[in-house]
C-alpha cells in the first residue's frame, strides 16, 4: 500500500504547507504559487503544463494512454483577510491569508504526486494532477481550466477539502449533492436626496432600502417551499456620510444560496418582484447586478464508493461520517459536469491547537496531522481505481 509511505514525508508536507501559508496570493493574481508548484512537479519528472486556463498548473503522469486515467485536484488561491494567528508561519503579506486551507490542499497534492511519481512503475494507470487557481472568486478557475482541456483523457476525478468543523481522524463523505449554488447580487437604489429635516421633499433611498431588506426576507419565509432549502442574506448596506443629509443613493449587496436551478430561478424572480414593487410604493428606481454562482457539486456513486473504501483501509482514519449538504459553493462542480468523481472532507479540527476557527476567519488554522489522511486517501484511492476496485 503506497499510503503507508505518507508518514515518512510528514515533515516535508508541513514545510510545503507553511511556505505557502506565509506567501499567499489572491485569486487571479497568483504568480509565485503556480511557479512553485510547476518547479516541484518538474523536479519529480512529471510533464507540466503552466498557464492552464490562465494561471492553473497541470501535471501529467501518463504511463499508457490506453490505461485508465484518474485526475486529482487541489486549489491554491488565498483570501483578502488579515492573518491574526500568532504562529511562526503567519502570512507575510498584509491583508492576505490562506483562511480556507488551500495551502494544505496544494501541499497534500504535491506530496501525493511525489509518492506516486516515485512508484509509477507499480501503477496500472495514468494520473493527472490539477492545481487550480481562483476557486474563491467568480467565475473561478475550474471553468477556465476545463475549457483549456485540463481533463483531456481523464476518466474520473477526486478532490478534497480540509475542514475545521470535523475532528482530525474523521473523514466526511456524501453521495449526490454536496454543495449549493452561491449567487451574488448588488442593488443600487436611486432616489433624490435632501435635508434630513424635510424628508417629504426627497425620495429617500435609505428608507426604501430598509424596506427592501425586510421584504426580501419574506421570500424565504413565505414564498419558498419550506422543504426546499434556500438562503437570502443581506451582507452590505452603504448609504450617506452625514447625519443631516438624506443621500441620493443606497447600495445593497448580498447572496442567494440554493441547491437546484428551479429554486434559484424562483428566488431571482421574487427578488425582481420586490424591486418592482419598491419602485411603485416609494418612487425610487433601481439597478440590479446579479451573478449566478457555481453549479452544485454532485458526487457520483462509484467514485464516492471509491473514497469510502480507500478511507476504510487507512488506520489513522478513525471514523467516516456522511455529511449534510451545505449551501457553500465550490467550483469542483465544473469538473463533475464533464467526468464522474467525488469530493470529500478531511477533518483538521483540534481545539487544543486553536484549529477550530471557521473557514474565512482571521484566525483560521488546521491540525496539520489531518493532511496525512488526505494524502493517504488519495494514494489508496488511486491504487484501487487502477486495480478496478469499486469502479
Q: Name the residues annotated as catalytic.
A: 77, 135
| CA atoms of 360 and 322, how far apart (whole Å) | 23
136 marked ligand binding residue: yes
31 marked ligand binding residue: no
| CA atoms of 14 and 22, how far apart (whole Å) | 12
Distance of CA 110 to the CA centre of its chain: 19
| CA atoms of 230 and 26, how far apart (whole Å) | 29
| CA atoms of 40 and 295, how far apart (whole Å) | 32
Q: How far is CA 301 from CA 44, 159, 241, 336, in A?
A: 33, 15, 55, 12
Cβ atoms of residues 2 and 116 within 8 Å: yes
Q: How far is CA 308 from CA 130, 168, 304, 389, in A?
A: 22, 16, 6, 12
* Number of C-beta neighbours around residue 92 at 10 A: 12
Joined grid coordinates for residue 284: 425610487
| CA atoms of 224 and 219, how far apart (whole Å) | 6
361 marked ligand binding residue: no
Joined grid coordinates for residue 279: 419602485
User: 162 by DSSP, 3-state: which?
Assistant: strand
User: Which of 107, 145, 130 shows the shortest CA–CA distance to 46?
Assistant: 130
| CA atoms of 140 and 137, how far apart (whole Å) | 5
User: Which of 207, 216, 202, 204 shows the shortest CA–CA distance to 253?
Assistant: 216
Return binding residues for Mn(2+): 100, 102, 136, 161, 360
Return binding residues: 100, 102, 136, 161, 360
Amino acid at each position: 500500500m503506497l499510503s503507508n509511505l505518507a508518514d515518512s514525508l510528514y515533515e516535508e508536507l508541513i514545510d510545503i504547507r507553511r511556505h505557502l501559508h506565509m506567501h499567499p496570493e489572491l485569486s487571479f493574481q497568483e504568480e509565485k504559487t503556480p511557479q512553485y508548484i510547476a518547479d516541484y512537479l518538474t523536479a519529480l519528472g512529471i510533464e507540466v503544463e503552466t498557464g492552464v486556463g490562465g494561471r492553473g498548473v497541470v501535471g501529467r503522469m501518463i504511463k499508457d494512454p490506453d490505461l485508465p486515467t484518474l485526475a486529482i485536484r487541489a486549489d491554491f488561491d488565498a483570501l483578502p483577510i488579515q492573518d491574526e494567528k500568532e504562529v511562526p508561519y503567519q502570512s507575510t503579506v498584509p491583508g492576505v491569508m490562506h483562511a480556507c486551507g488551500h495551502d494544505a490542499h496544494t501541499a497534500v497534492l504535491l506530496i501525493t504526486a511525489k509518492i506516486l511519481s516515485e512508484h509509477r512503475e507499480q501503477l496500472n494507470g495514468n494520473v493527472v494532477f490539477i492545481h487550480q487557481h481562483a476557486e474563491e472568486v467568480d467565475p473561478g478557475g475550474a471553468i477556465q481550466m476545463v475549457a483549456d482541456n485540463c481533463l483531456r483523457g481523464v476518466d474520473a476525478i477526486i478532490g478534497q477539502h480540509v475542514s475545521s468543523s470535523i475532528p482530525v481522524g474523521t473523514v466526511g463523505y456524501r453521495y449526490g449533492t454536496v454543495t449549493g449554488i452561491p449567487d451574488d447580487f448588488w442593488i443600487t437604489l436611486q432616489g433624490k436626496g435632501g435635508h434630513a429635516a424635510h424628508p417629504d421633499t426627497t425620495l429617500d433611498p435609505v428608507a426604501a432600502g430598509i424596506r427592501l431588506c425586510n421584504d426580501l426576507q419574506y421570500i424565504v419565509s413565505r414564498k419558498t417551499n419550506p422543504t426546499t432549502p434556500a438562503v437570502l442574506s443581506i451582507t452590505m448596506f452603504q448609504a450617506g456620510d452625514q447625519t443631516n443629509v438624506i443621500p441620493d443613493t443606497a447600495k445593497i449587496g448580498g447572496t442567494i444560496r440554493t441547491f437546484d436551478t428551479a429554486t434559484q430561478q424562483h428566488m431571482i424572480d421574487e427578488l425582481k418582484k420586490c424591486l418592482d414593487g419598491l419602485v411603485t410604493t416609494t418612487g425610487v428606481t433601481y439597478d440590479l447586478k446579479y451573478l449566478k454562482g457555481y453549479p452544485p457539486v454532485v458526487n457520483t456513486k462509484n467514485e464516492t464508493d471509491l473514497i469510502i473504501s480507500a478511507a476504510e483501509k487507512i488506520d489513522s482514519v478513525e471514523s467516516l461520517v456522511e455529511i449534510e449538504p451545505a449551501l457553500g459553493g465550490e467550483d469542483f462542480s465544473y469538473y463533475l459536469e464533464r467526468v464522474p468523481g467525488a469530493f470529500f472532507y478531511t477533518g483538521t479540527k483540534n481545539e487544543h491547537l486553536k484549529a477550530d476557527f471557521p473557514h474565512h476567519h482571521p484566525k483560521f488554522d488546521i491540525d496539520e496531522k489531518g493532511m496525512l489522511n488526505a494524502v493517504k486517501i488519495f494514494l489508496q484511492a488511486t491504487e484501487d481505481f487502477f486495480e478496478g476496485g469499486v469502479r
